[in-house]
Structure 1
Amino acid sequence: MSKSMIRTIFSFIFFLSSFAFQAQISSKYKISFENATHHEANINATFTNLQADEATFAMSRSSPGRYALHEFAKNVYNVKVTDGKGKELIATRPDPYSWKVKGHDGTIKVSYTLFANHGDGTYAQIDETHAHLNLPATFIYVPELEAQEIEVTFDIREDLNWKIATQLKHQQDNTYYAQNFQYLMDSPVEIANFRTRAFKVKDQNIVFVLHDDAASDEQLDAYFEKVKNVVLEQKQVFGELPRFDYGEYTFLACYMPNATGDGMEHRNSTSIPSSRSLSKGGVEMNIGTVAHEFFHIWNVERLRPKSLEPFDFSRANMSGDLWFAEGFTSYYDDLSLVRSGIMSQEKYIDGLVRTFNYVWTSPGRQFFTPIEMSYQAPFVDAARSVDDTNRENTFISYYSYGSMLGLALDLSLREKNLNLDDYMTLVWNAYGKTEIPYTVENLHESLNQFAGKEFGDYFFNNYIFKSGMPDYKKAFKQVGLSLEIKNEIDFGASVRSQRIMTNPKIGSSAYTSGFQKGDKILKIGEINLDGNASINSILDTFKVGEKITVIYERFGSQNEKMLTIATDVVYELKLMEDNAKELTKKIKENRATWLNSKV
């Protein structure tokens, strides 16, 4: 066979393979930003290979990593539809978030305008500083084509020196590729005049993209060193990084004054916006979000609850496993900071104390278990409502609750010469690395396998399926921490400028006396309040059990109630001093294996 014939055959094969590849791309988008000043994007979408006589296209109602409804269709307008030949079609609206079209020729072309001005991890923001895009808030989609391939072209503002950063696969120029709808919607995009830093872990790239006009290169370099330390420290928990789909993981850090603080995990990237520049405290304040979101590459992105698979963009997504998916991640974010030397042990303990008091003094445990607290996510996870709720008494964040359970499990395992790192590795190998979605029963069985049936059953039956409080005093003592319980006089509600700002805590003096959110405290006993007075400091001048008269205002009328001075439980947690008799060599070793670096 001649060389020319061989070249002809290879060219023909390449043509056929290219044609086959293109034929699979059924959704194509082009997005441009001519009117970025007024927060608008112009989007043109072409959908082919349509089989249904009546085509449906829609906007997402939810977003990966979020659990509430967000109704992104509210910011879509100027919708126009044609068939593949340019014939105008009429779109009807069967509901607030979708459109239906008849009479197409297997193709529909949809153009629309998107308004976007909320730069967090859930929504999108377009202005002359950037196009910060969460794709469920950006692109319509055709449910019929969800399993087919997708192409996106970004027509960027070269006059603003914009560049593109995303986990989407780069094809050519400003065109990117997603293998299906799920991957597209899981791929945030930052388009701006950003800077990058990168390093390799074995054969994979870790890329840090920074959009922060106020930060110096020196501040970026110093911050990137912290990011590297977090990555390498967390890698030690599982012993490896996951295999990223295209050999790369990208931090999309937008630290601009127009951004809204947030962190949102994705399969091969994370969106971590903040209004704090690295030049204005962001080096210290933003690193915790980096630590939390990176840990999600294992826990939630690949080690994934079965209840979230597949993610449904047409409704709220509920899971009873967020105490583990979000809560254990919250335990490890600060733990990795202290292990890597970014946070001092003293500061770490201070943070534990605040979370510890929030969780274990809350009345919410009498209403919901950790699993049931996780079920509340669609109502609390960036969800908005106009009616009042009683969350102060009924809800404990699954982030905080789960982090305290992670702490309890870790320290309890250490009493058996085991640890949570190794349990997480076991679960990772069984359900994360294999990407087999897990159930709470799988987590329970894995703990039984790891630490013994008696231990595993006791932990889950008392602290996961019920709302018991672990024996922290014993657990803390083995790592050189002393837990003390104090009773301090407390009103039982937050008061600012004399106004009660929260629902009174069940069982508190404010609750028992019948005070309500919105009441204005005018006088306690013989003491007239002014706007700057601390109500608890005033109550401290009385004795526990003493009954005093309180004058207050409600709905414009003055009223009087009797208040009984009462206390509330406050927990104190302290590191034992190095010269303390209780701090034995063994306890020092236990603390070191818990808090010291694993790198």
Structure 2
Amino acid sequence: MKHLIFLLLTAFLPLTVTAQKGKVTTSYTISFENAVHHEAEILAVFSNLKGNKASFRMSRTSPGRYAIHEFAKNVYNVKVTDGKGNILNATRPDPYSWNVEGHDGTVQVSYTLFANRGDGTYTQVDETHAHLNMPATFMYMPALADKAMQVTFKPRQDLNWKVATQLENKGNDTYYAMDLQYFMDSPTEVSNHSIRSFDVDKQTVNFVLHHNGTEAELDTYFEDVKKIVLQQKEVFGELPSYDYGAYFFLACYIPNASGDGMEHRNSTILTSTRSLADGGLQRNIGTVSHEFFHGWNVERIRPSDLEPFDFETANMSEALWFAEGFTSYYTSLMMRRAELLSKKDYIQGLTRTFNYVWNSPARQFFNPIEMSYQAPFVDAATAVDPVNRNNTFISYYSYGSALGLALDLSLREKNLNLDDYMKLVWKKHGKKEKPYTVEDLHELLKDYAGEAFGDYFFQNYIYKSNMPEMQRLFESVGVSLSQDGSKASFGVSVTNGAITQNTTIGTAAYKAGLENGDKIITINNTAITPENSFNDILSGLSPNDVLRITYERYGVTKETTATLQQDPSYTIELDTNVSDKKVLKRRDLWLNPK
């Protein structure tokens, strides 16, 4: 059956390519007859080739991801012919490329793709949908990267599938991209989905949802989506100019998806196992907020070291603390301004990120720029060797979010704000699509807030790892920051007596020489049992109390002592007793809808 399909497609596609000659040099057809077993059948036709030799390959990376992903591992049943159907011998110079010789100006490649992960990076094919991320799906020729491309989808009519994508619709389920960069950045959802749309300033924002819920649930959810869109527009003063005048949210809220979100130029992928009826109405909207903000910050306000995106190696940027981190700061702030979060909940929601960043020992090793450089090692990257990241790494999402908060509150002390700084970055770089460097961001902050302020912020918090005096900044907007001096801290979680992560530098556990894998047997001669857990014992103790600890390591019983420390955790709360009108006004300007 596969051989028959290949012959039929081979007979059909050269005619399509010939008709498009001079415009489209790469043409794909993809079908899903064996979706039940997660397979797609793909035919790629590369035409107008020069010379005798040609090379095609699978990508190793995907736009928005920074680590290596070897997509070639899911490709098999590869057959290569010239334009007349004559078989060409393909050789393999590496695990992700194929070389051929003796073609007639056209190379046709058919192959089977196994695909069963529905997220923002990979492809999933089953009888619920074909969820396509292009780098994980389609082979390409580097020599044709700057030429036009088209793809024809063969939706399963028996499953009522239809196509949703940012690609230009040419009719008959055929879609066009101006070049490889645009094509690879254009995820596509082929399923029996629903769609809601609204117009903003003569452009259309579409929410495509593949789910098992009701149309009424989608209607309710879409109202919240619209609020997010309009509040984000106010930050920058306008929407980006979307290609073809449309933006697409491509959401899959289904049990077989993997939770994720991934931004693209005129669309975003949103995946979750949570249905709208099962908490998704509240819990999925944060990803909507984060990814839509990327339409400005990352897709058009673009780090220079990510442009153009490299599909053959890992992509590293100095600016992820800004690109991802500042976007993370705005994620919840936009939900607050859209009145999807109360002021109280928004403020309390700052606590987790604040504690993670402020109390991490990792800042002694890397500043925000150097944390950004770690992305190829942490952004869905895989490794089998143990790492020490809880001591050496702070996510650039969280680090940048904390810095965005600090910068916003610092600017508001000067009757300025982060929104207007972002507008300036948008006008100077995003709207013109002029990629930026960290130094450009530094210079723009000096232009906006003054040379002394801009230099101080970057020299202390970006090029170094110092942190601002946040208690004063929080007080300036009527927020309290406090610690409980009576609460003791051991410095690592203990479950059933076992330490299951690396102990954190400087903590009581670390100083006592305890480490991941140790099994605590007794504390002050009291045995750790299910009825008398480590946390039960710790709850009755205070800072500076000394613990005599018996533990087991590699089958050997050992002893040590640990001096408990004060719990370093902070509590952040809305101060409801503020009477200063200037403080209240500053807080309202920060948190109220625009």
Per the TM alignment, residue 525 of structure 1 is displaced from its structure 2 partner at its CA by 1.6
SS in 1 for 2:456: helix
Aligned residue in 1 for 2:23: 24
In structure 2, distance between residues paired with 1:462 and 1:548: 38
In structure 1, distance between residues paired with 2:85 and 2:472: 73
Aligned residue in 2 for 1:592: 588
Whether 1:65 aligns to 2:61 is no
In structure 1, distance between residues paired with 2:268 and 2:107: 33
Aligned residue in 2 for 1:139: 138
Aligned residue in 2 for 1:361: 359
User: Aligned pair count?
Assistant: 577
Per the TM alignment, residue 474 of structure 1 is displaced from its structure 2 partner at its CA by 1.3
Deviations 1:475-497 (A, max 9, x none): 11111011123443122122223
Aligned residue in 2 for 1:267: 265
Residues 81 and 110 in structure 1, CA contact (< 8 A), matched pair in contact too = yes
Residues 67 and 316 in structure 1, CA contact (< 8 A), matched pair in contact too = yes
Per the TM alignment, residue 571 of structure 1 is displaced from its structure 2 partner at its CA by 1.3
Residues 21 and 48 in structure 2, CA contact (< 8 A), matched pair in contact too = no
Letter in 2 for 1:517: N
SS in 1 for 2:26: strand
SS in 2 for 1:231: helix
Whether 1:288 aligns to 2:286 is yes
Deviations 1:403-457 (A, max 9, x none): 1101111111111111000000011000000000000010000000000000000
Deviations 1:190-212 (A, max 9, x none): 11111111000021000000101
SS in 1 for 2:149: strand
**For 1:186-265, what aligned pairs fall within 5 Å after superposition?**
186-213=185-212, 215-265=213-263
**For 1:10-409, what aligned pairs fall within 5 Å after superposition?**
22-213=21-212, 215-409=213-407
Per the TM alignment, residue 520 of structure 1 is displaced from its structure 2 partner at its CA by 1.9
Per the TM alignment, residue 553 of structure 1 is displaced from its structure 2 partner at its CA by 2.5
SS in 1 for 2:105: coil
Per the TM alignment, residue 546 of structure 1 is displaced from its structure 2 partner at its CA by 3.2
Letter in 1 for 2:113: L
Aligned residue in 2 for 1:498: 497
In structure 1, distance between residues paired with 2:592 and 2:423: 18
Deviations 1:67-97 (A, max 9, x none): 0001111111111101111111111111111
In structure 2, distance between residues paired with 1:583 and 1:36: 63
Per the TM alignment, residue 227 of structure 1 is displaced from its structure 2 partner at its CA by 0.1
In structure 2, distance between residues paired with 1:203 and 1:490: 56
Letter in 2 for 1:386: V
Letter in 2 for 1:81: V
Deviations 1:107-158 (A, max 9, x none): 1100111011111100011100000111100000000000000010111111
Aligned residue in 2 for 1:3: none
Letter in 1 for 2:285: I
In structure 1, distance between residues paired with 2:351 and 2:414: 24
Deviations 1:229-268 (A, max 9, x none): 0000000001100110010000001000000000000000
Aligned residue in 2 for 1:461: 459
For the structure 1 residues 534 and 372, does the alpha-carbon distance in structure 2 shift closer, same or farther, using more than 3 Å as the test?
Answer: farther
In structure 1, distance between residues paired with 2:209 and 2:411: 39
In structure 1, distance between residues paired with 2:121 and 2:562: 44
Structure 2 unaligned regions, length at least 5: 1-16
In structure 1, distance between residues paired with 2:254 and 2:555: 43
In structure 2, distance between residues paired with 1:532 and 1:390: 32
Letter in 1 for 2:592: N
In structure 2, distance between residues paired with 1:334 and 1:52: 54
SS in 2 for 1:263: strand
In structure 1, distance between residues paired with 2:129 and 2:489: 47
Deviations 1:22-80 (A, max 9, x none): 42201010111111111110111100111242211011001100000011111111111
Letter in 2 for 1:421: D
Aligned residue in 1 for 2:3: none
In structure 2, distance between residues paired with 1:534 and 1:438: 53
Per the TM alignment, residue 172 of structure 1 is displaced from its structure 2 partner at its CA by 1.1
Per the TM alignment, residue 551 of structure 1 is displaced from its structure 2 partner at its CA by 2.2
In structure 1, distance between residues paired with 2:484 and 2:359: 12
Structure 1 unaligned regions, length at least 5: 1-17
Aligned residue in 2 for 1:552: 551
Task: Give TM-score scaled by structure 1 length.
Answer: 0.94
Q: Which moved more, 1:340-349 or 1:457-466?
A: 340-349
Per the TM alignment, residue 532 of structure 1 is displaced from its structure 2 partner at its CA by 6.9
In structure 1, distance between residues paired with 2:25 and 2:571: 60
Letter in 2 for 1:106: G
Residues 496 and 531 in structure 1, CA contact (< 8 A), matched pair in contact too = no
Whether 1:426 aligns to 2:433 is no
Task: Give TM-score scaled by structure 2 length.
Answer: 0.95
Per the TM alignment, residue 543 of structure 1 is displaced from its structure 2 partner at its CA by 4.0
SS in 1 for 2:287: helix
**For 1:448-487, what aligned pairs fall within 5 Å after superposition?**
448-487=446-485
In structure 2, distance between residues paired with 1:357 and 1:583: 28
Per the TM alignment, residue 347 of structure 1 is displaced from its structure 2 partner at its CA by 1.2
Residues 150 and 177 in structure 2, CA contact (< 8 A), matched pair in contact too = yes
Deviations 1:292-344 (A, max 9, x none): 00000000000000010100000000001000000000010100000110011
Letter in 2 for 1:209: V
In structure 2, distance between residues paired with 1:547 and 1:573: 30
Letter in 1 for 2:181: Q
Q: Which moved more, 1:512-521 or 1:109-118?
A: 512-521
Per the TM alignment, residue 547 of structure 1 is displaced from its structure 2 partner at its CA by 2.8
SS in 2 for 1:227: helix
For the structure 1 residues 500 and 171, does the alpha-carbon distance in structure 2 shift closer, same or farther, using more than 3 Å as the test?
Answer: same
In structure 2, distance between residues paired with 1:358 and 1:587: 27
In structure 2, distance between residues paired with 1:438 and 1:267: 17
In structure 2, distance between residues paired with 1:74 and 1:205: 38
In structure 1, distance between residues paired with 2:111 and 2:47: 18
In structure 1, distance between residues paired with 2:101 and 2:21: 25
Per the TM alignment, residue 345 of structure 1 is displaced from its structure 2 partner at its CA by 1.1
Letter in 2 for 1:478: S
Letter in 2 for 1:251: F
Letter in 1 for 2:564: I
In structure 2, distance between residues paired with 1:376 and 1:196: 38
For the structure 1 residues 517 and 458, does the alpha-carbon distance in structure 2 shift closer, same or farther, using more than 3 Å as the test?
Answer: same
Per the TM alignment, residue 533 of structure 1 is displaced from its structure 2 partner at its CA by 5.6
Per the TM alignment, residue 531 of structure 1 is displaced from its structure 2 partner at its CA by 4.2
RMSD: 1.4
Letter in 1 for 2:31: S
In structure 1, distance between residues paired with 2:89 and 2:555: 55
